[in-house]
Amino acid sequence: MKLMLQTWRSSPAAAHVAPFAVFMAFLAVPGWFRVENPELPWHVRAPELWVYPLQTLVCAGLLLFFRRHYALRPWRGLGLACALGVAGIALWILPAWTYQKLDTENPPVWWAWLGMADRSRGFDPGQLAEWPVWERITIFMRFARLVVVVPLVEEIFWRGFLMRWLAAEGRPWHETPFGAHTWRSFWIVTTLVMLAHQPADWPAAFVWGALVYLAAARTRSLGACVLMHALANALLGAWVMGAKQWGFW
């Protein structure tokens, strides 16, 4: 077992892919336990309130386990990364914000194609209002997931692995410089980033994926991409808490 763990830990591919794969697998878990009945305990009717904190801890553990493989440096292009992060998340929430402001009872079908839809249903920590300590812990874990774990897991996989693997052109992918650009990698990575999100977010997710790809290609810095993603998600989390648009996280 020890030898197997050492072999696994020494693999650059496992280090870049495993945290993302485990993260995505956890997204299916709430559906296994959820029972739609408001009279049941919160951990049965809203299992995401305990599954997502568990997901955060497991994925954080994997990131620590594989940490020697992640080269966040050089820390350059941080101003560009921050500007793109703010612009990207503003475009992401714009359709839902517009939908809220218009307040239309029977919106046209095509609104949904642009992400203009009600996003009030989702991970609502208010369901734990009767247990204020656990509610605060859940909110803290949600922001830890949103601002720390998600940016690392996603950028390590999308930009640190897949973008380089597609641009490798016959050489070992881990010897390909971070940020190496080909149009093939742009279209494949950006499209997959889009498809990894719920359909209501597809237009915004495609634009977001393109902006992070631009940041990777311009800065050649994984750290800049992680910072961009972390800043954007922090702003998104603050907006979700204020607007109560729980469907965004």
Q: Judge whether 3 lies within some domain.
A: no
Q: Point out the least confidently predicted range of 70-84, 90-104, 166-180, 215-229.
A: 90-104
Q: Judge whether 140 lies within some domain.
A: yes
111 has a pLDDT exceeding 70:
no
124 has a pLDDT exceeding 70:
yes
pLDDT at 82: 98
Q: Which residue in 165, 166, 203 sits closest to 187, CA to CA?
A: 166
pLDDT at 110: 64
Q: Judge whether 115 lies within some domain.
A: yes
Question: What is the tally of structural domains in the chain?
Answer: 1
pLDDT top residue among 217 and 169: 217
Q: Judge whether 7 lies within some domain.
A: no
Domain with 150, as residue range(s), is 74-248
CA angle 32, 116, 100 (to 5 degrees): 100
What would the pLDDT profile of 164-212 be if each residue is shown by its tens digit? 999 998 889 999 999 999 999 999 999 999 999 988 889 899 999 999 9
Q: Is the pTM of this model over 0.85?
A: yes
114 has a pLDDT exceeding 70:
no
115 has a pLDDT exceeding 90:
no
Q: Cis omega (within 30 of 0) on the bond before 74?
A: yes
Three-state SS annotation for 98-165: HHHHHCCCCCCHHHHHCCCCCCCCCCCHHHHCCCHHHHHHHHHHHHHHHHHHHHHHHHHHHHHHHHHH
23: which 2 tokens? 């993260």
Q: Judge whether 37 lies within some domain.
A: no
CA 140 to the chain's CA centroid: 16
pLDDT top residue among 160 and 200: 160
Q: What DSSP state is assigned to residue 176?
A: S
Average pLDDT over residues 66-75: 94
pLDDT at 153: 98
Q: Judge whether 18 lies within some domain.
A: no
65 has a pLDDT exceeding 80:
yes
Q: Point out the least confidently predicted range of 103-107, 121-125, 171-175, 217-221.
A: 103-107
Average pLDDT over residues 22-42: 82
